[in-house]
Homo-oligomer: A and B are copies of this chain.
Amino acid sequence: MNWIELPDDHPTPSLVVDAQRVDRNLRRMQDYCDTHRLHLRPHTKTHKSIPMARRQIAHGAQGLTVAKVGEAQQMSAASSDLFIAYPAIGPQRLLRLEKLAKELAGQQGGQLAIGVDSQKAAQGIADAATKAGVPIGIMVDLDVGFHRTGTETTQEAIELCTWVSQQAGLRFRGLMCFPGHILPNASPQSWADYHDAIAGVVDRLRALSIDVPVVSGGSTPTAMESHRNPILNEIRPGTYIYNDWNEVSLGVASIDDCAARVIATVVSVPTKSKFILDAGSKTFSSDRNCVDADSGFGKVVEFPEAKVSRLSEEHGEVIFPENYSGPRPSVGDRLWVIPNHICVCVNLQNTFYLHQDGLLQELAVDARGLLV
């Protein structure tokens, strides 16, 4: 599929998104989920855009995932079925949560759930639900091996789920996990361990007559292998809408699948062996490649042999290999860069350009930089 032609006066550095590729990425993931009877609840952290969230819903997503209460408030413009995959702690968040729960309760199909791994977090949400006068859903966060958040043992998980199921203001909705440690094409044993970590909790909850309506996993790299853990009935990938150089490096996307790219201008060619782009860590972030940390800060599409070797805040240094004899850019040339990690790149922008049907439209990154 051809990539986008920009007018000469397009500003750089800026993020440009191709709607046709977005739709192809959304369709592919939705088809996978439909085939395997999985609910798709995309994580909007990647795009932070209300129109992009609406596109995901239009393609068949069940609802949306967000990381912050403030993002949930924004994304309620796109769906009334929201999951905050993050414990809402502190008076500012709980006040907003109370307000949002009331708003969603008044809407068709409206529901709100939150992921927690401690009774303290759940207690605050229960209090907010009581004040709101509407129940709030709780998903209990299990650590299935990534060792970030999540209850560490089956016993801890059971105790928290049981406690939640007994609170008047709360509705126990099920279990969530983030299987970020499982890479594409992981061994059957890794998937069996992942399954068993959840099944052990589900079995004991059922023995206690506690229903577990939702078991939610996901994350883009292994999203389309989710059927390998048949206890899952929902996934929450984010990156798949745009893809990035990490996904290409992991082998789960092609360059052609990368729907969001940065256009940058060559501002200096100090020596024959390198050039400098007007995009640095304030455009791409300093996130390293997840497969090979030393492979550079993304990929310059026109010069795939070159390496984005060093970033300053507004400078991207790109070097050619020693034996390189191909073409080289000049000052003023504009080049396309696929960032390592598109989620943090998007979050650095105030706006992005959406290309659709030959038109470019500047849209806000609606939910970036929110405080709660």
Residues of A bordering B, CB below 8 Å: 8-14, 45, 67-68, 86-87, 89-93, 95, 117-118, 120-121, 124, 143, 147-152, 180, 265-271, 276, 278, 281-282, 285-288, 310, 312-315, 317, 330-332, 334, 343-344, 347-351, 368-372
Contacts and interface: CB of A to CB of B under 8 A. Distances in A.
A269 B151 CA distance: 9
Given A89-B278, A89-B332, A150-B268, 11 more contacts: A11-B371, A89-B265, A89-B266, A89-B267, A90-B265, A117-B268, A118-B269, A151-B270, A152-B270, A285-B286, A286-B286
A87 B267 contact: yes
Nearest to A343: B313
Contacts of A117: 268, 270
Contacts of A149: 267-268, 270, 276, 315
Contact of A90 (B12, B268, B310, B372): B12
A11 B73 CA distance: 15
A352 to B, nearest CB: 10
A313 B267 contact: no
Contacts of A267: 86-87, 89, 121, 149
A150 B268 CA distance: 8
A221 to B, nearest CB: 14
Contacts of A351: 369, 371
Nearest to A92: B11
Given A148-B317, A267-B149, A281-B287, A368 B350 contact: yes
